[in-house]
Amino acid sequence: MDKDAGTEPVGAGRGGTGGELLSIGAFARASRLSPKALRLYDELGLLPPAQVDPVSGYRRYSSAQLERARLVAWLRRLGMPLARIRDVCGLAAGPAADAVAAYWAQTEADTAARRELAAFLVDQLSRKGTTVDASMDMSMDASVDTTAAGATEGTPAGGPRARRRLEIRYAARSDTGLVRESNQDTAYAGDRLLAVADGFGGAGASAGAAAVAVLRGLESFDGGALRPGDLLNALADAVRQADRSVRDVVAAAAGPGAESGSGPGAESGAGAGPGAGGGPGAGSGPGAGSGPGAQPVPDVAGTTLTAMLWTGSHLALVHVGDSRAYLLRDGGLFQITHDHTHVRSLVEEGRLTPEEAESHPQRALLVRALGSGADCEPEVGLHEARPGDRYLLCSDGLSAVVPADSVRGVLTTAPDPGQAVRDLVALVHDAGAPDNVSCVVADVSAAA
C-alpha angle with apex 181: 175 to 186, nearest 5 degrees? 40
Selection from 230, 180, 226, 222 nearest residue 438 by Cα: 180
**Dihedral angle of Cα 283, 284, 288, 294, to the nearest 10 degrees:** 10
Q: What is the DSSP string of 113-168?
A: HHHHHHHHHHHHHHHH-SPPPGGG-------EEEEEEEEE----TT-SS----EEE
Q: What is the pTM of this model?
A: 0.61
pLDDT in tens, 183-238: 999 999 999 999 999 999 889 999 999 999 999 998 876 655 556 667 788 888 89
- Ranges 49-53, 84-88, 439-443: which has the least confidence: 84-88
pLDDT in tens, 352-391: 666 666 666 666 678 889 987 766 788 888 888 999 999 9
Per-residue pLDDT for 29 more than 50? Answer: yes
Q: How many angstroms separate the CA atoms of 291 and 355, rounded?
A: 17
pLDDT in tens, 34-62: 888 888 888 877 888 988 888 888 888 98
pLDDT band at 102 (very low <50, low <70, confident <90, very high): confident
**pLDDT the model gives residue 18:** 56
C-alpha angle with apex 440: 435 to 443, nearest 5 degrees? 150
- Ranges 12-16, 38-42, 102-106, 179-183: which has the least confidence: 12-16
